[in-house]
Amino acid sequence: MADVFNKPPRECAYSFTQHTACEFFPCHKTAHPENFNCLFCYCPLYALGSDCGGNFKWTEEGVKDCSDCLVPHTRDSYDYILKKFPEVSELAKKNRKD
């Protein structure tokens, strides 16, 4: 198990999972469903709005539409999400209520 700390996340099982039995799999259009990562089923970067780095649109009602985004659903998404996590953490701190 100690070897897991020396491997890049892309080579570790914890960074990629598929739920092919899901009624919505894959939930976004992709030419490569074999590489579709379900680990971040709900994108933890959604709350970052325009700073998420994904391929999204704003609807006329002001709702973020991520239906064309694959950022959290690739084999390399784990690394990207972790790099953006400090921004998510800062957002959570700003919204903290004691």
pLDDT confidence of residue 2: 63
pLDDT higher than threshold 60 for residue 70: yes
Coil/strand/helix, residue 77: helix
Q: How far apart are CA 75 and CA 57, in angstroms?
A: 23
Contact (CB, 8 A) for 82 and 88: no
| Residue 1 binned pLDDT confidence (cut-offs 50, 70, 90) | low
Q: Which residue in 8, 33, 32 sits closest to 19, CA to CA?
A: 33
Average pLDDT over residues 47-76: 95
For the chain, give the mean pLDDT.
Answer: 92
What pTM, to 2 d.p., does this model score?
A: 0.81
